[in-house]
Amino acid sequence: MSDAGDVPSSGPNSSPSSGGGGSHPGTPRGTPVYSVDAQDIIAAIERPNMMPDDVPFHRGLLPLLDLPSFGEPDDDCGDPCPGSMYFCPSCCTVHQKPHVCYRYDCPLHWAHAVRRRAAGSKDAAGVCPQLDALRRYLNAYRDDNQYFHHLVISLGKECRLAANEPLERELETVREIMDEIGIQGLVGYHPRAGDNEDHEGDDRGDWKNRIGKDTDWEDVREELEFRPHFHIVGVAPFIDFSETPEIQSETGAVLHRITQEDSNISIEDTEAMCSAVTYVLSHCGIYDTDGDQRRLAAWMKGPDIGRITPLERNKAKIQATVYDVARDTLGVEPPNLECDSELDQDEERQGNVDEGPAIDREQRNPMLDAWDTGDDVERVGATSTGNGVTIDGPPGPDGPAGPIASAGSGATPSRSTDLPGRRDPFDTPAGNPTFTSSTSSTSSPTRSRSTSSSDDQDDESETCGTRLRHISQANEYLLDREWNESHDDGVLDVETAYRSYVTWMEAKDLEATDDPTPLPEERVTDYPPDD
């Protein structure tokens, strides 16, 4: 049996109903090509009622949402707080990290929020791990090869729908178009585009300079215009868009498949998929919920999305890839969680690097393992197997059977749970700070040697190099007698920090909120909410 997980006995072995087979230049031999049926898509576009001409022009238009990073930071953004403390299980040094708010509109931490949405956290699978698992699943249980694609859909900036919530109604139209094409995946709403943009590229370099703490909205708005459109990064067989000119001439809608230069390939591999996802999420609009929460206008759409949960080992690899590409697409570096405290000579001679009690890997933040394989981090490339996903059956009355469900659990995502106005699990305060460790080994700490003078060996000193643990894990160590006895001198520092963390947590106002995605009844509690 493959490690694709527990698969329902009646798997989706049939191909998508839309489209037909055939050959296409640049596709592997025998790979079906699914053509876009122009008339079906035209019918989907024209199905919604349009706003009458005598209604004020602004009614029915898609909303001009805010872009990430142009809000105000919290008062404590970047400041130390008990919730951002870490400790070293080897030398007992307590490290204070800056507070990260994970708000999309924060000029300091918007990129951290986007990266977490792409990579996932303890309570959410993450867009990129979901897409990777989706392709593995479809490759295993469908006859045709599945690939990543990057599409753009625009119904025109003057499209006025007769609906109280135009974004919700147009998103439904986009979902119908996706069903006709046979693609599942991420849908991101972009309210603005550069005034010099076309649909021939992703203008990634331009957007990096348009948002962030070093940009001013009054300057940026001069090079942007209201041009609402949707980006899709999803999984499907090869797609033939040769009939899209007919769609545009009849409806004014633009459907475009972004490809690499001089190539028919849209997204070559998993790393390119992670780049595309972080790019799309970086400038999605931000909408306000009824509970005064600010959410990113991005959703996962597709009948199989809610059935699949990435395996932890694959999720960690994809998360490491997201953190790697985010340097370029988001301009944010992975934090270093390696203890840099200098060891005294006695510790160096004795090799006192006991890391304390063993921690169950299933109870640890997978991001802490994502970089543990050093330079040998495996990149998940194209595969025709189904390995690497856990398949959940249809949800029962108490929620899905699997450990984490993505938006819209079950065979068909529900419009009432994954549209604006509802909670998004990727943005819920519950969860844990998403940090990676450095490339230290899980079996032993990595020691680094710093030398102030190459001529004087006595000046050499070693730093601890052990991977740090979040202070919320300290109680596991403090209750371990062997660890206490072997770290007698530093235990009090760790205990004091842990007590301050517990007091801080008790004082925080952690209001319960409704998530659109039914999460497991037994939540992991060994990591704190985002501070």
Domain boundaries, the chain: 33-73+102-331+383-422
Strand order in the sheet with 80-87: 94-98, 80-87, 469-470
Amino acid at 463: T
What is the average pLDDT value for the chain, to the nearest integer? 68
Q: What is the pLDDT of residues 25-79, one digit of tens each?
A: 344 434 444 556 778 887 777 766 665 555 554 555 777 788 887 777 777 777 7
CA 201 to chain centre: 22
**113 vs 399, more confident:** 113
Which residue in this structure is represented by tokens 């046979």?
182
Q: Is the dihedral of CA 372, 312, 274, 226 positive or negative?
A: negative
* For the chain, percent of residues with pLDDT exceeding 90: 22
DSSP codes joined into one string, 270-336: HHHHHHHHHHHHHT--EEE-TTS-EEESEEEESTTGGGEEE-HHHHHHHHHHHHHHHHHHT--PPP-
Q: What is the pLDDT of residue 128?
A: 96
Q: What is the pLDDT of residue 518?
A: 34
The 3-state secondary structure of 55-109, one letter per residue = CCCCCCCCCCCECCCCCCCCCCCCCEEEEEEEECCCCCCEEEEECCCCCCCCCCC
Distance CA 153, CA 232 (A): 8
Distance CA 319, CA 129 (A): 7
pLDDT band at 462 (very low <50, low <70, confident <90, very high): confident
Nearest CA among 45, 305, 245, 259 for reference residue 147: 259
Q: What is the dihedral of CA 131, 404, 105, 527, to 10 degrees?
A: -130
Longest dimension (CA), the chain: 86
pLDDT band at 148 (very low <50, low <70, confident <90, very high): very high
First to last CA, the chain: 42
> Which residues neighbour 80 within 8 Å (Cβ) at sequence distance 6 or greater?
96, 97, 98, 99
Phi first, then psi, for residue 399 (nearest 5°) are 110, 180
Distance CA 180, CA 405 (A): 25
**128 vs 421, more confident:** 128
Amino acid at 52: P
Distance CA 444, CA 432 (A): 24
Pair 91, 201: CB distance under 8 Å: no
**Core vs surface per residue 412-433: b (16+ CB within 10 A) or e:** ebeeebbbbebbbbbbbebbbb
pTM across the whole model:
0.66
Distance CA 98, CA 264 (A): 44
Strand order in the sheet with 298-301: 254-258, 147-154, 224-236, 184-194, 298-301
Nearest CA among 328, 337, 305 for reference residue 434: 337
Radius of gyration of the chain (CA): 25
CA 483 to chain centre: 36
Distance CA 440, CA 313 (A): 17
Does residue 299 carry a pLDDT above 90?
yes
Which residue in this structure is represented by tokens 């330079």?
375
pLDDT band at 217 (very low <50, low <70, confident <90, very high): low
Among the ranges 10-14, 292-296, 319-323, which has the highest mean pLDDT value? 319-323
Which residue in this structure is represented by tokens 């394989």?
373
Q: What is the pLDDT of residues 172-184, one digit of tens each?
A: 889 999 998 899 9
CA 394 to chain centre: 24
Q: What is the pLDDT of residues 360-372, one digit of tens each?
A: 433 333 333 333 3
User: Which uninterrupted H or E stretch holds 470?
Assistant: strand 469-470
> How many residues does this entry show for the chain?
531
Q: Which of 256-260, 395-399, 467-471 has the lowest mean pLDDT?
A: 395-399
Residue 434 CA: distances (Å) to CA of 142, 147, 300, 318:
34, 28, 21, 14
Pair 420, 284: CB distance under 8 Å: no
